[in-house]
Structure 1
Amino acid sequence: MSSGPGSRLRILYRHYGGDNTKPRPGYYSKMLALTSLLRAADALDTAPELVYINDQVRPGPILSLMEATGEVVPVRGGSDSRSYRAMLEREAARSAPADQFLWFSEDDYLYRPDALRHLAAGAATLTDVDYLTMYGSRALDTEASGRRVVRRTVTGAAGDPAAVPIGDVEWYHAVSTTSTFGTRLGTLREDLRLLNLCAVSGGSWDHTTALAIAGFLPFTGAQLRADLLPGRSVPLAEWPRTIMRGGVRLAVTARSLRRPSHRRRLFAVDPELISHMESEQPGSRPEPSARTAATDWAAIAEATSAWAEERGISVDQQVTS
């Protein structure tokens, strides 16, 4: 892309027309999330392809802004997993070069204004890396990990001799991320069946996905036995659903036993360039590295609001209804 190097970036922004009850920072809104993405896109040398994957989105300011800035694709998802799978299926079937880099984004992230420029540079430089993320500071201990993941004792790129500096950020081998990530179209096509299978495995299926595509075992034997052989702790009426989930998880586990040539690498960036706008709960994530913690996300939110207001956009709109 000429936004830095490489080809034109294609962004798939998956938006749900309602909201949930997760604890959020005071500045949170879905309009803020969207305008922060547009602000980051505005900093690119070449405008990206913006595609909005919309589930249950009613007419309103957010939809109007999407229609003015990109292609709007309605989907009948009804759940996070369904809309995610519909998006992946649509992209994998699209006629385009296999090396096109795709960025899949959920609708509750706050972007630094330089986030997409760094992503473009990372995608152009790290051509042997399969997946990139701009969120998450769980670092993989590549020497200690076998079929089970071993995390490094420090988070982010700190002290990692294999970290790759690009500009003023560093990219490092990460364990996991959410459903906001980047990959090339060819990789998506090759991994599509496993990605779809992971998405119906229940629980934290995004974490399951990251482990399975990298060739790590996503479930323990105890977890599989608990699903496949439910005991008295599971009501009898729940047995069919529990056993079915266990069957899916067993299939995911079997598919995670990939040949070394098919084990994917996920790299994250330090500092984080986007923030998942959820209020942190004690113990929910490892302590971030000093560089990751350096970003003042409240200040980013304030600056994004000002940028939006200059363009006649109010970020106070929480949902599209």
Structure 2
Amino acid sequence: MRLHAIYRSHGGENVKGRPGWYGKQRALLSFCRAVAQARRSVDVDVVFLNDGPIPAERLDVMRAWGTPLPFTGGSNRRSYLRALALPRQRDWAGEDLVLLAEDDYLWTPAALTALLAASRTTTADYFAPYSPAPGGAAGTAPDTTLGTAPGAGVAAPGEVRWVPLESTTSTFAARVGALRQDERLLLLCCLSGGDFDHTSCLTLQGVARFGPRDLLRHKPLPPGTGTARTLARNAYLTAMKLAVDVRAQRRPSRRRTLLAASPAVATHMESGWVAPGDWAALARETDEWARTSAAGGEG
């Protein structure tokens, strides 16, 4: 078995609230630290899917740890769809594991090792390294990592359990064979608008995402948009949402199982969506690892 990691990156920033230890360079280094540990026991192939220009310091690290693949997408959705197509385009083996990773996550050193262990010891097809709530349950957990309670910490290799999860983000791992079978379904979920990651997780598991009201309720277009365009766009989204709900009625053999690491082995670095744990301490450890090891390569 090989692990293929697709690290989706963008050079810019957005307006999301961030914890004090946030940084894309730090996120990248923590990911490379996890790659280094996983490579002690398995072949890890890393593709850095870069949407637009990437700062030179970050690009240097990417070149040392994998293969940068530049493209012009212009949106998170297009970057995600480009990543979904890679397993098919590169003909990766169905028994391999593929990880789709976003560039604003902090990773524990054992994160990829834990994902590989889960793929070997369970029959699940999808794995979430991150869940925002304790115990792997879906929901929002308070951001307590800047003032962590006594005894809190991040997962050590032997502490990780894998528990059922309703939904996660666009950072997840999957068996290559399952992802290739589900590619068209995931594309359809993306075309339905809104939070396509949540829609995808529910639909893969055979759960209808949209109720009757949701089918007719859409995100408003900018002020001044013409009536004809608004009506056409709303009709399109209603049709896509209905198609997603129909596709959610999967036969039992095609319904996927999504498991989450508990405690999380990675966290989204967005205020209000940080997984429980002492991630500020891990951020400091990552900086120290970068200073004292061959962080610029595997040397």
Could you tell me the TM-score, scaled by structure 2's length?
Answer: 0.84
Q: Which moved more, 1:59-68 or 1:106-115?
A: 59-68
* 1:164-210 Cα distance to aligned partner (Å, 9 max, x none): xx932211111000000011111011100001111122111100000
Do residues 23 (structure 1) and 17 (structure 2) align? yes
Aligned with 2:201 (options 197, 207, 210)? 210
Residue segments in structure 2 that go unaligned for 5+ positions in a row: 142-156, 219-224
For 1:300, the equivalent position in structure 2 comes to 282
The 1-side partners of 2:133 and 2:158 are apart by 21
For 1:174, the equivalent position in structure 2 comes to 165
RMSD between aligned alpha carbons? 2.6
Letter in 2 for 1:226: R
Do residues 253 (structure 1) and 245 (structure 2) align? yes
The 2-side partners of 1:223 and 1:139 are apart by 29
Do residues 41 (structure 1) and 35 (structure 2) align? yes
Do residues 240 (structure 1) and 232 (structure 2) align? yes
The 2-side partners of 1:100 and 1:188 are apart by 11
The number of residues matched between the two structures is 272
For 2:222, the equivalent position in structure 1 comes to none
Q: CA deviation at 1:19?
A: 1.2
The 2-side partners of 1:235 and 1:211 are apart by 33
* 1:63-97 Cα distance to aligned partner (Å, 9 max, x none): 11111211111122111111111111122222232
For 1:134, the equivalent position in structure 2 comes to 129
Name the SS for the 1:10 alignment partner.
strand
Q: CA deviation at 1:217?
A: 0.5
Aligned with 1:74 (options 70, 80, 95)? 70
Name the SS for the 2:217 alignment partner.
helix
Aligned with 2:104 (options 108, 113, 118)? 108
The 1-side partners of 2:230 and 2:24 are apart by 35
The 2-side partners of 1:61 and 1:13 are apart by 16
Residue correspondence of structure 1 range 241-320 to structure 2 within 5 A? 241-280=233-272, 293=276, 295-311=277-293
Q: CA deviation at 1:52?
A: 0.6
Name the SS for the 1:182 alignment partner.
strand
Q: CA deviation at 1:299?
A: 0.2
Of all paired residues, the percent bearing the same amino acid is 39
The 2-side partners of 1:172 and 1:268 are apart by 5
For 1:55, the equivalent position in structure 2 comes to 51
Tell me, yes or no, if the aligned pair for 1:137 and 1:174 is still in contact at 8 Å.
no
Do residues 119 (structure 1) and 115 (structure 2) align? yes
The 1-side partners of 2:138 and 2:263 are apart by 17
Using a 3 Å threshold, how does the CA distance of structure 1 residues 270 and 58 change in structure 2: closer, same or farther? Answer: closer
The 2-side partners of 1:24 and 1:111 are apart by 16
For 1:289, the equivalent position in structure 2 comes to none
Q: CA deviation at 1:306?
A: 1.2
Tell me, yes or no, if the aligned pair for 2:32 and 2:295 is still in contact at 8 Å.
no
- Structure having the larger proportion of residues in helix: 2
* 1:93-122 Cα distance to aligned partner (Å, 9 max, x none): 222321111111000000011111111111
Letter in 2 for 1:274: A
Name the SS for the 2:118 alignment partner.
helix
Letter in 2 for 1:301: A
Letter in 2 for 1:53: L
Q: CA deviation at 1:139?
A: 9.2
Using a 3 Å threshold, how does the CA distance of structure 1 residues 30 and 106 change in structure 2: closer, same or farther? Answer: same
The 1-side partners of 2:176 and 2:248 are apart by 20
Runs of 4+ in 1 over 3 A off after TM superposition: 137-140, 311-314
Using a 3 Å threshold, how does the CA distance of structure 1 residues 136 and 59 change in structure 2: closer, same or farther? Answer: closer
Q: CA deviation at 1:296?
A: 0.3
Name the SS for the 1:43 alignment partner.
helix
Do residues 92 (structure 1) and 88 (structure 2) align? yes
Using a 3 Å threshold, how does the CA distance of structure 1 residues 222 and 266 change in structure 2: closer, same or farther? Answer: same
